[in-house]
Homo-oligomer: A and B are copies of this chain.
Amino acid sequence: MLSSKAGSDAAHGQHSSYFLGWQEYEKNPYNALQNPTGIIQLGLAENQLSLDLIESWLARNPEAFGFNRNGKSTFRELALFQDYHGLPALKNALVDFMSQIRGNKVRLDPRKLVLTAGATSANETLVFCVADPGHAILVPTPYYPGLDRDVQWRTGVKIVPIHCSSSNYFRITESALEEAYQQALNQNLEVRALLITNPSNPLGTTLSREDLNLVISFIIAKRIHLISDEIYSGTVYDSPAFVSVAEALTEENHDEVSTRIHIVGSLSKDLGIPGFRVGMIYSNNVDIIKAATKMSSFGLISSQTQNLVLGILSDREFITSYVRENRKRLKRRQEMLVSGLEEMGIECLKSNAGLFCWVDMRKLLFCNAATTLFETEKEVWAKILSEGGLNVSSGLSFHCSEPGWFRVCFANTSEQTLNLAMRRMKQFVESRRRRRSPTKWFLQLILRHSQPER
């Protein structure tokens, strides 16, 4: 009787295997010296590859984290600064950075920026701005498990999935969009927005200009909002180049729709600083900027951290070299993972961005008549964790419509640890193959080509 729906709601999604894997990892974390048989965390989309660059920069620029500027103390000014508009200089630096990682093809306006304590808050804030309880938001699958929390939990809004399929590399299609929209109507839900992540988590792919045009045409036709979560925009390490919806808007004549398109950004992935909680919303919609700015009272970025980030971003030369080097390192890691898996006969979806690969392990699903392929996926996931000592994330936890896909992160460990992870994975794959009986193999073939379950 006494707790609220939100307080007890399963919409938070915490029971997903995504979070269960983290819990298992925390009980027995791998450490080369202290716990060499522990679980290796491949389920965390963290970018640790270029932290040393920022660390060295800070060593060279200690004034960035101190409370002095030109010999004067800044402590009082920062301690008291709680204006929810944020430090103006930081907003200028952030739009410059956003523009830079979008290839300087768009000119962004700091007045259209809202600061939030991380992208988690940015996504929820936008949902609060565009939808009321009982409304629906369409989200292409597979999608980041945290969106269940960010979009649905406290807002009372429902996610209706757009089912994407491996047959066309999980690209969004017109018919999938239309089908999801109809699904919402069938459930008597008014659709208020489409939310995409570009680059995609978990796919590691970027949307093409053609994909973006499809998406924009759809939101024009349905008169709904588009939330484009672009928190991985600085991690695009390979061609095709990233096309932000901001760019698509500038180039096409999309005046009518431009007030219904909102971008979510963050420094957590691009600079690898999730602990500092720097997220943002960018929108052409004056009313949404106003409402979101007021909502940012619920999650302001510490002024101390605003000041630190301002210092780092203001060194344009450093940022330019950081972005270049970070991409190079990400590419190297992704290639390591892809080629390592290839040697085991396991393929990844071709990707060009993000901190992870979307791995096709359908070959490892052997199921019998009593189990579904999704049950088998879960079994494989649990065995990779318990026997293989690796926490990867199962496709089901990303609401993937097809069983057998897994997200594997490559940027949150050292190269040695990733190599060890691949040796463990190889061992697991080989032992799994040895256990496979011809009957099971045949059954699997049939099932694999049957309709995907949902």
Residues of B near A276 (CB, < 8 A) are: 79, 302-304
Residues of B near A192 (CB, < 8 A) are: 2, 4
Residue-wise interface mask of A (55-71) relative to B, using a CB-CB cutoff of 8 A (1 in contact, 0 not): 10010001001110000
* B-contacting 9-mer, from A123-131, A169-177, A340-348: A123-131
Of residues A58, A73, A117, which shows the largest number of chain B Cβ atoms within 10 Å of its Cβ? A117
Residues of B near A31 (CB, < 8 A) are: none
Is the CB of A376 closer than 8 A to any CB of chain B? no
B75 and A6: CB pair below 8 A?
no
B54 and A75: CB pair below 8 A?
yes
Known: A154-B154, A305-B302. A291 touches B6 (CB 8 A): yes
In the bound complex, CA of A260 to CA of B3 (Å): 10
Is the CB of A36 closer than 8 A to any CB of chain B? no
In the bound complex, CA of A62 to CA of B3 (Å): 45
Is the CB of A248 closer than 8 A to any CB of chain B? no
Is the CB of A436 closer than 8 A to any CB of chain B? no
Residues of B near A301 (CB, < 8 A) are: 277, 302
In the bound complex, CA of A141 to CA of B156 (Å): 30
In the bound complex, CA of A287 to CA of B118 (Å): 25
In the bound complex, CA of A268 to CA of B224 (Å): 40
A2 and B223: CB pair below 8 A?
yes
Known: A65-B66, A129-B4. A121 touches B299 (CB 8 A): yes
In the bound complex, CA of A2 to CA of B129 (Å): 9
Residues of B near A65 (CB, < 8 A) are: 65-67, 304
Is the CB of A133 closer than 8 A to any CB of chain B? yes
A300 and B117: CB pair below 8 A?
yes
User: In A407-445, which residues have CB < 8 Å from any B CB?
Assistant: none
Residues of B near A277 (CB, < 8 A) are: 82, 117, 300-303
Closest to A291 in B: B7
In the bound complex, CA of A267 to CA of B268 (Å): 26
Minimum C-beta distance from A251 to chain B (A): 24
**A8 in complex: contacting residue of B76, B274, B291, CB < 8 Å:** B291
A275 and B79: CB pair below 8 A?
yes
Is the CB of A185 closer than 8 A to any CB of chain B? no
Is the CB of A5 closer than 8 A to any CB of chain B? yes
Residues of B near A51 (CB, < 8 A) are: 75-76, 79-80
Is the CB of A95 closer than 8 A to any CB of chain B? no
Is the CB of A158 closer than 8 A to any CB of chain B? no
A272 and B80: CB pair below 8 A?
yes
Residues of B near A154 (CB, < 8 A) are: 128, 154-155, 295, 298
In the bound complex, CA of A8 to CA of B292 (Å): 11
**A79 in complex: contacting residue of B3, B4, B76, B272, CB < 8 Å:** B272
In the bound complex, CA of A131 to CA of B260 (Å): 31
Is the CB of A78 closer than 8 A to any CB of chain B? yes
Minimum C-beta distance from A152 to chain B (A): 13
Closest to A125 in B: B298
Is the CB of A372 closer than 8 A to any CB of chain B? no
User: In A271-326, which residues have CB < 8 Å from any B CB?
Assistant: 272-277, 287-288, 291, 294-295, 297-305, 308
B80 and A46: CB pair below 8 A?
yes
Closest to A274 in B: B82
A298 and B300: CB pair below 8 A?
no
A58 and B54: CB pair below 8 A?
no
Residues of B near A260 (CB, < 8 A) are: 2
| 8 examples of A-B residue contacts, CB within 8 angstroms | A3-B129, A6-B291, A51-B76, A58-B75, A117-B298, A117-B300, A118-B300, A276-B302
Known A2-B224, A48-B80, A82-B277; 14 more pairs at CB < 8 Å: A2-B192, A3-B129, A6-B291, A7-B128, A51-B75, A65-B66, A65-B67, A117-B298, A118-B300, A133-B133, A275-B302, A275-B304, A277-B302, A304-B305
